[in-house]
């Protein structure tokens, strides 16, 4: 063993002579400036698709499990403060009676087994806070939910390979504005659902021939899905680093991928748990909490996939210019490959 360790150290390059090649847009841009890499060309669709898929897989493997765990923990920590903050904002806007309805609107995006765990606790938390306790809880909720948003911001920053450019308190102010905006959008979604229900009743009363068609269409079922896509798209657009927030860098592919992943997990999780797992035998009375954490972990993994997809599709002007001049493919086929500098 004493002889083996020095030999292993000799085979590894020194820390000063290692160059880490990343697949983030920012590092690809730097390589393109140095005339080292680029895609073969925009016309080579198959090659570009494989390159994008490789970037997503490597980026998700490197960061996915870490950030999924962080998002799961922060989601579990922030969901009840978010309900309290939402209740405070609803009360400030004179819609205090809709506080309980906001819980139902949010839980539509979760599997029934998760909703059964969260709903009774959320209702008890909201009903037990009145007056100044509600406002203090709302202020604490702004900070807690803001930490979740900052986790997603850091995920996007890492996916694109950028660094923070503003002060900490500016990011926190932006997170607070996002939370208030999310609650207001939630209020509008509740109004939309009420309007759809009223329209269905009017059509059923005055146009009975169309009632069967509406029942088959079930337009109200699609409203949460569209709302989920809109929320994720807005999240990606607002939290994406400034240089990559332009129109040339698409945001909708990641939002679509995350929405499909989220809906798929919501639909598939209950039958999978019933068929293959028995959490009650392992966790006992904590099984519901563990399943909720598992759901949030899977949702966090979907957010990582969406962020990595947007970052993989982002092609900087430097890369485009290099590809038009016939630049060579990337030197480093791995996300964290080491190269020894030439003497």
> Which has more confidence, 257 or 92?
257
Eight-class DSSP state of 13 = P
Q: Which of 80, 29, 49 is nearest to 253 (CA)?
A: 49
Compute φ and ψ for 166, nearest 5 degrees: -130, 170
Greatest Cα pair distance, the chain, in angstroms, is 90
Q: Is residue 328 part of a domain?
A: no
Structure confidence at residue 304 (pLDDT): 93
Contact between 58 and 21 under an 8 Å Cβ cutoff? The reply is no
- Classified as helix, coil or strand, 338 is strand
Q: Residue 189: how many CB atoms within 10 A of its CB?
A: 20
CB-facing half-sphere around the CA of 319: CA atoms within 13 A: 25
Residue predicted with more confidence, 304 or 106: 304
Domain contains 324: no
* Unique residue bearing structure tokens 């087994």: 113
Q: In the prediction, which pLDDT does 302 show?
A: 92
- 28 in a domain, yes or no? no
Tell me which residue has tokens 């949010």: 106
Identify the pLDDT of residue 20. 46
| pLDDT-derived band at 272, boundaries 50, 70, 90 | confident
Please report whether residue 327 resides in a domain. Answer: no
Q: Is residue 9 predicted with pLDDT exceeding 70?
A: no
Mean per-residue pLDDT of the chain:
73
pLDDT tens-place string over residues 282-323? 777 778 888 889 999 999 999 999 999 998 888 877 766 666
In a domain, 145, yes or no: yes
Total count of domains within the chain: 1
pLDDT (average), residues 54-63:
86
Distant-in-sequence, close-in-space partners of 295: CB < 8 Å, separation ≥ 6: 110, 111, 114, 265, 269
Would you give the DSSP letter of residue 98?
A: G
Residue numbers of the domain that contains 67: 51-315
Residue 152 DSSP SS3:
helix
- Alpha-carbon span 88 to 102, nearest angstrom: 12
What band does 16 get if pLDDT is binned at 50, 70 and 90? very low
pLDDT digits (tens, 9 = 90+) for 144-190: 888 888 888 888 888 888 888 777 778 888 777 777 777 666 666 65
Asked whether residue 322 is domain-assigned, the answer is no
The pLDDT score that the predictor gives to residue 301 is 94
Quick: pLDDT tens for 211-244.
565 555 445 555 666 777 888 888 888 888 888 8
158 assigned to some structural domain: yes
The reported pLDDT for the residue numbered 309 is 92
pTM for the model:
0.74
pLDDT value, residue 87: 80
């Amino acid at each position: 063993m004493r002889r083996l360790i020095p030999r292993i150290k000799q085979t590894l390059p020194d820390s000063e002579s290692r160059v880490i090649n990343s697949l983030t847009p920012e590092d690809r841009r730097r390589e393109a400036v140095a005339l080292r890499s680029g895609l073969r060309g925009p016309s080579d669709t198959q090659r570009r698709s494989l390159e994008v898929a490789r970037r997503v897989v490597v980026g998700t493997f490197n960061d996915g499990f870490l950030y999924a765990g962080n998002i799961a923990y922060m989601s579990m920590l922030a969901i009840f403060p978010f309900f309290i903050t939402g209740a405070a904002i609803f009360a400030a806007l004179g819609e205090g009676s809709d506080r309980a309805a906001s819980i139902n609107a949010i839980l539509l995006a979760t599997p029934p087994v998760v909703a059964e765990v969260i709903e009774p606790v959320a209702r008890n938390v909201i009903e037990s806070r009145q007056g100044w306790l509600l406002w203090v809880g709302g202020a604490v909720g702004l900070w807690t939910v803001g930490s979740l948003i900052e986790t997603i911001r850091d995920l996007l920053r890492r996916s694109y390979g950028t660094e923070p450019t503003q002060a900490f308190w500016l990011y926190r102010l932006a997170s607070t504005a996002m939370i208030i905006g999310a609650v207001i959008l939630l209020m509008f979604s509740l109004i939309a659902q009420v309007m759809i229900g009223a329209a269905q009743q009017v059509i059923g009363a005055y146009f009975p021939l169309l009632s069967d068609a509406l029942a088959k269409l079930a337009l109200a079922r699609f409203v949460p899905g569209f709302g989920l896509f809109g929320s994720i798209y807005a999240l990606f657009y607002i939290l994406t680093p400034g240089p990559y927030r332009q129109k040339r860098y698409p945001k909708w592919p990641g939002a679509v991928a995350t929405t499909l992943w989220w809906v798929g997990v919501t639909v598939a999780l209950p039958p999978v748990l019933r068929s293959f797992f028995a959490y009650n035998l392992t966790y006992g009375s904590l099984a519901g909490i563990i399943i909720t954490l598992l759901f949030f972990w899977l949702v966090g993994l979907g957010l990582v996939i969406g962020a990595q997809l947007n970052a993989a599709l982002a092609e900087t002007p430097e890369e485009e210019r290099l590809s038009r001049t016939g630049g060579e493919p990337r030197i480093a086929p791995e996300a964290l490959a080491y190269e020894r500098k030439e003497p």
